């Protein structure tokens, strides 16, 4: 009989304890109550945000900290009205420097404002803890009171500079069933071994999250792997930056193709800690033996790009934790770094590297998405990248609704009320998901005029690290010295999986654009020629030439 005493599951990070699991299981965001701090003229919707933090952006062209004084003073005054205070920081939480870091021309400077409590609040004298939404609404109320009744709300907020103050939203990755803010209790599943009737489900969208219907499950790849062609003289490889959970080990994703540790000025871009869901697939939550919902997500996306653009290089930048959650401030910091790398590369400066496509399989719903009522920090930084010739590709989301998601909807779509106009940069593409028939839209996919194109995103096959979870095969009968059993639902040691979500439609489009770019002479060109090449590749993909 074969020796099955060895546990094939990877170990936890060195020194990992229940404290680490419990600490990491605390969700950093809260869900906004639209009824809190109501304000005439501002209709709010639910979103998730960091409760003790706001974001302030200094307009492009303003470099000194004196530009911060106006909006910062408004936030401090509003916070103090509730008995709190506010401290301005860099996006990474460090203290502000008098001399700002190198900036890309045209890029805003975004700062965090940490809401704090006086000592008596910390000791429990005051019952309330800081709430960024209440502070933001107080800032807006003060601005509107100054202009009087009847004023245009958006115009009044812009005039007062209040449009540069916003929440630090929580974005989530979007394979089916991941968003912790859309579940009643993520730690209390009924019983994976006792399903009532698989043909009678209350929500048909959930079907895509089930094994056998498009949910993450092992699959065998029997064809050849992607072949990496040589680079012709005078060319360079197209570069796709994937902002996700990073990328795990896989034979298709060697280090000479995938850069897992992108740096700028000696700093690692994105998260750089032990809690890496592409290495350790069961980090947080109870010891239930099941893999974390997003384990392998970044590796899966990298594999899709590898299939669509075998000649491309991939930058695997980790922005999400094992819950699939991303703080907006952290995403903005990464985008600032990418813009700096791309700017240096376009202008032949030291320390740069080209970035032709950015693939984002994440998003959130803004509480006030109309013009004048949302901060444009995320749009502005993506626009800077697009102005450098970088195409931005974003998943549309998996909630089967038409409510626009951010950043997918941050382009001037038909009928948009976001106040955005064409800017002459490379394309911003929001991508919904098709079923395997490539004709019908997946039922889970978000839809609407803000979704620019659709690509296969249901039951997609791609790479995954050789994870082995606790959900075992249902039957075993060893004979003739062979280990005989049914398919292990969480045995990914074959290196491939099936998965569903607009998460996987977006990188397919990103890869197709990179493949198109590889057909041209990709030199260290200036911004104008880079934008022209990016737009030409986008037109070809939109025309369906790559299907």
Res 66: pLDDT: 61
Domain of 55 in residue numbering reads as: 1-178+238-519
Contacts of 413 (CB under 8 A, 6+ apart): 430, 449, 450, 452
What is the CB neighbour count within 10 angstroms for residue 237?
Answer: 20
In a domain, 468, yes or no: yes
Q: Is the pLDDT of residue 286 over 50?
A: yes
Is residue 379 in some structural domain? Answer: yes
pLDDT digits (tens, 9 = 90+) for 7-20: 676 677 887 888 88
Contact 492, 293 (CB under 8 A): no
Rounded alpha-carbon distances, angstroms, from residue 251 to 444, 466, 495: 31, 11, 9
Whether residue 258 lies inside any domain: the answer is: yes
Report residue 473's pLDDT band, with 50, 70 and 90 as the boundaries. confident
CB 244 within 8 A of CB 507: no
- Confirm whether 225 is domain-assigned: no
Closest CA to 365 of 498, 182, 124: 182
Give the three-state DSSP class for 155: helix
Q: Are 244 and 298 in contact (CB under 8 A)?
A: yes
Q: Which pair of structure tokens corresponds to residue 29?
A: 């965001």
- CATH code assigned at 403: 3.40.50.200
What is the DSSP secondary structure assignment for residue 491, as one 8-state letter?
B
What pLDDT sits at residue 420?
A: 94
In a domain, 470, yes or no: yes
**Strand, helix or coil for residue 318:** strand
What are the phi and psi torsion angles at 75 (to 5°)? -65, -45
pLDDT in tens, 316-325: 999 999 989 9
Cα-only R_g, the chain = 24
| Displacement of CA 423 from its chain's centroid (Å) | 23
The pLDDT score that the predictor gives to residue 397 is: 94
The arrangement of strands across the sheet holding 217-218 comes to 217-218, 496-499, 460-463
Q: Distance (Å, rounded) from C-alpha 84 to C-alpha 105?
A: 35
Q: Do you know the residue count of the chain?
A: 547
pLDDT at 501 over 70: yes
Residue 547 lies in a domain: no
| Total number of domains constituting the chain | 1
CA geometry: angle 355, 427, 354, nearest 5 deg: 10
Does residue 23 belong to any structural domain of this protein? yes
Q: What is the mean pLDDT of the chain?
A: 87
Say how far apart CA 427 and CA 29 lie, in whole Å: 31
Window from 4-13, 144-153, 364-373 with minimum mean pLDDT: 4-13
Q: Which residues pair with 406 in a beta bridge?
A: 364
The answer to whether 127 touches 67, Cβ cutoff 8 Å, is no
Instruction: State mean pLDDT over 132-154.
Output: 87
SS (H, E, C) 267-301: EECCCCCCCCCCCCCCCCCCCCCCCCCCCCHHHHH
Q: Compute the distance between CA of residue 381 and CA of residue 390 in angstroms, rounded to an integer.
A: 11
- Window from 222-226, 304-308, 449-453, 524-528 with minimum mean pLDDT: 524-528
pLDDT reported for residue 402: 95
Count how many Cα atoms sit within 13 Å of the Cα of residue 464 in the half-sphere of its side chain.
32
Task: Identify how many contiguous H helices and E strands the chain contains and give both numbers.
Answer: 10, 19
Name the maximum alpha-carbon separation found in the chain.
86
Please state, in angstroms and rounded to a whole number, the distance separating the CA atoms of residues 359 and 300: 13
Q: Average pLDDT in the 311-337 region?
A: 96
Whole-model pTM: value is 0.91
């Amino acid at each position: 009989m074969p020796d099955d005493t060895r546990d094939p599951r990877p170990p936890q990070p060195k020194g990992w304890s229940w404290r680490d699991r419990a600490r990491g299981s605390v969700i950093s965001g809260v869900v906004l109550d639209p009824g809190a701090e109501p304000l005439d003229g501002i209709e709010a919707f639910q979103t998730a945000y960091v409760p003790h933090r706001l974001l302030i952006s200094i307009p492009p062209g303003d470099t000194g900290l004196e530009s911060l004084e106006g909006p910062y003073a408004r936030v401090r005054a509003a916070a103090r009205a509730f008995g709190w205070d506010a401290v301005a920081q860099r996006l990474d939480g460090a203290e502000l420097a008098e001399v700002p870091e190198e900036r890309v021309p045209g890029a805003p400077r975004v700062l965090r404002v940490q809401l704090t409590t006086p000592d008596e609040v910390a000791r429990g004298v005051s019952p309330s803890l800081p709430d960024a939404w209440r502070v933001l609404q107080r800032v807006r109320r003060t601005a509107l009171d100054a202009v009087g009744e009847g004023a245009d709300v958006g115009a009044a907020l812009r005039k007062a500079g209040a449009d540069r103050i916003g929440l630090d939203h929580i974005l989530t990755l979007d394979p089916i069933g991941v968003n912790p803010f859309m579940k009643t209790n993520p730690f209390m599943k009924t019983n994976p071994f006792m399903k009532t009737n698989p043909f009678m489900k209350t929500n048909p969208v959930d079907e895509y999250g089930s094994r056998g219907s498009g949910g993450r499950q092992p699959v065998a790849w029997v064809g050849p792997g992607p072949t990496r062609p040589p680079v012709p003289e005078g060319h360079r490889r197209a570069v796709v930056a994937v902002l996700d959970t990073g990328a795990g080990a896989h034979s298709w994703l060697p280090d000479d193709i995938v850069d897992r540790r992108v740096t700028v000025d000696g700093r690692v871009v994105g998260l750089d800690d032990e809690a890496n869901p592409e290495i350790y697939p069961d980090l947080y939550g109870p010891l239930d033996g099941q893999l974390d919902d997003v384990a392998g997500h970044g590796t899966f996306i990298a594999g899709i790009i590898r299939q669509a653009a075998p000649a491309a290089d991939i930058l695997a930048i980790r922005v999400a934790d094992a819950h699939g959650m991303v703080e907006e401030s952290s995403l903005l910091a990464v985008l600032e770094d990418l813009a700096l790398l791309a700017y240096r590369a376009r202008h032949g400066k030291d320390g740069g590297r080209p970035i032709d496509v950015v693939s984002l399989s994440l998003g959130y719903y803004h509480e006030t998405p109309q013009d004048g009522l949302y901060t444009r920090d995320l749009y502005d930084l993506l626009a800077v990248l697009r102005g450098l010739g970088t195409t931005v590709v974003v998943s549309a989301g998996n909630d089967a609704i038409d409510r626009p998601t951010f950043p997918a909807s941050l382009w001037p779509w038909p009928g948009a009320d976001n106040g955005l106009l064409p800017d002459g940069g490379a394309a911003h593409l929001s991508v919904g998901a098709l079923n395997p028939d490539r004709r019908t839209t997946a039922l889970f996919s978000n839809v609407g005029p803000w979704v620019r194109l659709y690509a296969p995103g249901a039951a997609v096959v791609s790479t995954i690290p050789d994870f082995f979870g606790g959900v075992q095969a249902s039957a075993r009968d060893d004979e003739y010295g062979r280990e005989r059993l049914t398919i292990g639902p969480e045995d990914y040691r074959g290196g491939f999986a099936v998965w569903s979500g607009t998460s996987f439609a977006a990188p397919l489009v990103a890869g197709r654009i990179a493949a198109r770019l590889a057909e041209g002479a990709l030199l260290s060109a200036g911004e104008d020629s880079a934008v022209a090449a990016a737009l030409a590749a986008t037109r070809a993909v939109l025309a369906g030439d790559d299907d």
